[in-house]
Chains A and B, each alone.
Chain A
Amino acid sequence: MTTTVADPARPERPSAVTTRQLARSTAARQRRSARIKLWAGAVCTALVALPVALASLLPLPDPNAQDLSRRRLAPFTDGHLFGTDQLGRDLLSRLLHGGQVSLSVGILAVIVSGLIGIAAGSTAGYFGGWVDAVVSRFLEAQLALPLLMMLLLVVALFGPSVTVITCVIAVAQWPEVARLTRSLVLVEREKPYVAAARLLGMRSWSVLARHIVPNIVRPASLVILLLLAQAVLLESALSFLGAGPQRPFATWGRIISDGQDYITTSWWLVTLPGLVIALLVVGVNLLGDGLRDRVRTTKPTKLAKGA
């Protein structure tokens, strides 16, 4: 990833192009943008994800311990870094513990949607014909529908458990993965090694599973970070609308909707949780974006279409 192509200490260069000009070339600038995005993204993500992951190890009050005499304390008072909420619970502790639920729902949902998406997309791309027609119709239909209403409906009907919400988000996201996988497999199946595998008498299923899928998992996984960002936002929107998990801890969207009534007197109850979500999602988005840009500048032909 270093941008200096030639060693600047060496006085003589065989070319009239100076290092300075090279550093200002489009490719170098693109790599620099991608690198800045990756770094900024990693820092933002770590700022939220690390404390969330370590929440139970940090010296924090119990997230559900109420203390009605210490209601709505402003940030930085009495050792409450983010202040306390309307029931005297420590806001930071609630955010970090709720974040564990939000993040694990997001990560699980992305894994599930990735598995469904890769299975459906690669089957459709490889076999074509009526399989492709059915999968593609499903994709189009789902992308054309305002899905949030359906998701709310499912959660309202089956209860806001972590399992239901994870499945709901996974179902909402699989079309993205499937579409990308399908387009990658369409390119891959025309390659000589696939023909060779067929000539050797391998069954279609094992050609697909053992030769094609391993080759497309890497490019397909590029969308995963972008999907994770969407999953976190979707979960928070669902829990804001009252369709989020409530046990063991309230998640971010719920904390914001609870704090909404006190917005004029206690600004931190809504502002801080929102900033935490935004910081995490910005970080994940920048990471995903930087990664995509980097791959695109090194291998322009292969991924430019799908991503």
Chain B
Amino acid sequence: MSKYLARRLGQSLLTVFLTISTVFVLVRLAPGDPASAYAGPTATSDDLARIREQFGLDKPLISQYGIFLRDLLTGDLGTSYSFHSSALDVVLDRMPYTITLSVAAIAVTVAVAVPLGVWMARRADTSRELGANVLTIAGQSMPDFWTGVMLLTVFAVLLPVLPASGFTSWSGLILPTVTIAVLQLALISRLVRREMTTALASPYITVARSRGVSERALTWRYALANSAVPLVTAVGTRFAALLNGVVVVEVVFGWPGVGSLVVRALETRDYPLIQATVLVTATLAILVQLLVDLAYPLLDPRVRLGKAA
């Protein structure tokens, strides 16, 4: 167990390290100069040279990388060019908003997709099931930013019942959450349907039924319990994809999270801020994945970590 944990932690750290190094190189390989973006069009070449020196951009790439790694170990990700404060702090300030939105979106998706998938499995291959299937596919096929804009127009402009943007009250969470959930619904409900169809046809269900267990208990307690591991796996592996959706939706709804922050940081070529955002979100996504893996033995007592894989 502890050996398994150590190996997984090592792999996760390696992934984060490779990601952040890729971003570091990518940002600096690209054309475009943060100093001129920072100083504006009126800056003289002396100004630019001074700014480069101040940000350490005049040093060779390899020593910039060395300094970056040294600072990284002490938790210092540099100072944001546009916020003039610690890049890590800027990102961490925004993080709760992104996490709130992601958790709400996952919760709503699972709360709708699980009953829907169970229903679809019980009515497998009927016209109504096909209809529900096509509807979820339609939800998956709508561009998330478009769904967001349409929901905004209907529920915040035409019928002003919900706030249009930002985080003013908890009701501001509704529209962004729905937008993301519509996109994720198809995948999770299809998964639940597949697992449930297999489970409902297995011998242990027939045995339980012959012992007089009610259909309701068969479905929800017997069959669904066996779908928990694939379901949690899917939620875990989809978390990174979910964060992608969160970036777009944050921009549409003016949500003050990391997604809208990174779009702004890219426009101003704020290197430290870009690096900090990628580092924090990558760490979050990988951490979620790790937690999901560690949760398997709790969901299914037959699983022993480190033995199977």
Contact = CB atoms under 8 A, between A and B. Distances in A.
Interface of A: 26, 29-30, 32-33, 36-37, 40, 137, 140-141, 143-150, 152-154, 156-159, 229, 233, 236-237, 240-241, 253, 256-257, 260, 263-264, 267, 270-271, 273-274, 277-278, 281-282, 285-286, 289
B217 interface: no
In this complex, the member of B32, B137, B274 whose beta carbon has the largest number of chain A beta carbons within 10 angstroms is B137
B274 A286 contact: no
A237 B237 contact: no
A273 B244 CA distance: 22
A229 B129 CA distance: 22
Interface in B1-56: 11, 14-15, 18-19, 22-23, 26-27, 29-32
Contacts of A282: 137-138, 141
Given A153-B23, A286-B134, A141 B15 contact: yes
B130 A36 contact: yes
A146 B137 contact: no
Contact of A253 (B143, B240, B259, B289): B143
B262 A237 contact: no
A256 B240 contact: no
Nearest to A141: B15
Given A137-B15, A277-B142, A281-B141, 7 more contacts: A137-B11, A144-B289, A152-B266, A157-B32, A241-B247, A274-B150, A281-B143
Contacts of A241: 247-248, 251, 263
B184 interface: no
A37 B247 CA distance: 32
A270 B251 CA distance: 16
A294 to B, nearest CB: 13
A154 B25 CA distance: 11
A260 to B, nearest CB: 6
B285 A145 contact: yes
Contact of A256 (B19, B30, B149, B152): B149
A263 to B, nearest CB: 5
Given A271-B150, A289-B137, A147 B244 contact: yes
Given A37-B134, A157-B30, A278 B240 contact: no
B281 interface: yes
A12 B229 CA distance: 51
B30 to A, nearest CB: 3
Contact of A263 (B129, B149, B244, B259): B149
A40 B135 CA distance: 13
Interface of B: 11, 14-15, 18-19, 22-23, 26-27, 29-32, 124-126, 129-130, 133-134, 137-138, 140-147, 149-150, 152-153, 157, 237, 240-241, 243-244, 247-248, 251, 259, 262-263, 266-267, 274, 277-278, 281-282, 285-286, 289
Contact of A240 (B130, B133, B145, B286): B145
12 contacts: A140-B11, A143-B237, A143-B240, A145-B282, A146-B240, A152-B263, A158-B30, A256-B143, A263-B152, A264-B153, A270-B146, A274-B147
A260 B248 CA distance: 14
A148 B274 contact: no
A267 B157 CA distance: 12
A169 to B, nearest CB: 13
Contact of B286 (A37, A144, A260): A144
Given A237-B143, A286-B137, A146 B149 contact: no
Contacts of B286: 144-145
Nearest to B138: A282
Given A237-B143, A285-B141, A157 B285 contact: no
Contacts of B266: 152-153, 156
Contacts, number: 146
Contacts of A145: 15, 19, 240, 282, 285-286
A237 B125 contact: no
A26 B125 contact: yes
Contact of B146 (A143, A148, A152, A277): A277
A30 B11 CA distance: 42
A29 B123 CA distance: 12
Contacts of B14: 137
Nearest to B262: A149
A240 B143 contact: yes
Contacts of B142: 274, 277-278, 281
Contact of A144 (B129, B149, B267, B285): B285
Given A40-B134, A237-B143, A149 B278 contact: yes
A30 B129 CA distance: 11
B16 to A, nearest CB: 9
A144 B15 contact: yes
Contacts of B124: 26
Contact of A141 (B19, B150, B237): B19
B186 to A, nearest CB: 9
Contacts of B22: 150
A10 to B, nearest CB: 28
A33 B130 contact: yes
A149 B31 CA distance: 18
B111 to A, nearest CB: 23
A285 B237 CA distance: 21
Contacts of A263: 149, 152-153, 157
Contact of A274 (B143, B237, B263): B143
A282 B243 CA distance: 23
Contacts of A159: 31
